[in-house]
């Protein structure tokens, strides 16, 4: 089935950004404590996370990689994870220090990448892609209504995400310093 020409990987990325508020809304419904709404919010965030994989593969396979898409895709990633973490922190279901650490890294490295390459785009490293995946899983497990005895599972995933968040930031800076 051939899609209409106006549907592009960039369209999917913009749609992903536009749908983030629906996930946030679902998180806050009924005070954020209703397991049904938590599952609905998780489904929305999960689908939006999957579209991150789809739009990138689609752009590469159809030779539709554009500077706009290369810019918007990481913005969508950061908006998705940031919205989820801030929402969960506001609901007292996710530690603020983790939200601040991860968002500071994400914003800081994004600014660093933009300044270093002066408007160009540095493609995400393999470590950066794994970091994003682990952040999505880690935060996703905080969205879901987990029984207390599975708390270690959430902590394990978010701990790995934190380690990858810090180490990939270090890797970007180190690679830049070596290239000078």
Alpha helix ranges (H) inside the chain: 9-28, 35-61, 67-90, 96-117, 126-143, 151-179
Residue/partner pairs of 57-65 with CB below 8 Å, 24 or more apart: 58/9, 58/12, 59/9, 59/10, 62/9, 64/8, 64/9, 64/10
Least trusted range by pLDDT, from 11-20, 42-51, 84-93, 110-119 = 110-119
pLDDT score, position 163: 97
Instruction: Look at the pTM and tell me if it is higher than 0.95.
Output: no
Q: What is the DSSP letter of 1?
A: -
CA distance 82 to 45: 12
- Nearest 5°: phi and psi at 51? -65, -20
- Which two tokens mark 113? 């990448």
Mean pLDDT of the chain: 89
Q: Which residue has the tokens 């940031």?
A: 82
| pLDDT at residue 1 is higher than 60 | no
For the ranges 88-102, 128-142, 161-175, the maximum mean pLDDT occurs at 88-102
**Phi first, then psi: what are they for 146, rounded to 5°?**
-90, 145
pLDDT of amino acid 127 = 87
Q: Cα separation of 119 and 121, whole Å? A: 7
The dihedral region occupied by 118, where left means phi > 0, alpha psi between -120 and 50, and beta the remainder, is left
pLDDT for res 166: 96
Domain 9-179: CATH architecture, name and number where available: Up-down Bundle (1.20)
The Cβ-side half-sphere exposure at 161, using a 13 Å CA radius, reads 26
């Amino acid at each position: 089935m051939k899609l209409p020409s106006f549907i592009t990987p960039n369209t999917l990325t913009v749609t992903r950004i536009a749908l983030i508020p629906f996930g946030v809304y679902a998180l806050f419904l009924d005070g954020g404590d209703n397991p049904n709404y938590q599952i609905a919010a998780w489904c929305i965030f999960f689908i939006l996370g999957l579209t991150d994989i789809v739009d990138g593969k689609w752009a590469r396979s159809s030779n539709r990689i554009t500077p706009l898409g290369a810019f918007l895709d990481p913005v969508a990633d950061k908006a998705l994870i940031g919205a989820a973490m801030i929402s969960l922190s506001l609901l007292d279901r996710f530690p603020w220090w983790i939200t601040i650490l991860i968002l500071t890294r994400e914003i800081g490295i994004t600014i660093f990448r933009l300044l270093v390459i002066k408007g160009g785009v540095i493609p995400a490293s393999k470590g950066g892609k794994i970091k994003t995946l682990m952040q999505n899983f880690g935060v996703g497990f905080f969205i879901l209504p987990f029984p207390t005895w599975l708390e270690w599972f959430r902590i394990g995933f978010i701990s790995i995400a934190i380690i990858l968040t810090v180490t990939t930031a270090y890797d970007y800076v180190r690679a830049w310093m070596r290239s000078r």
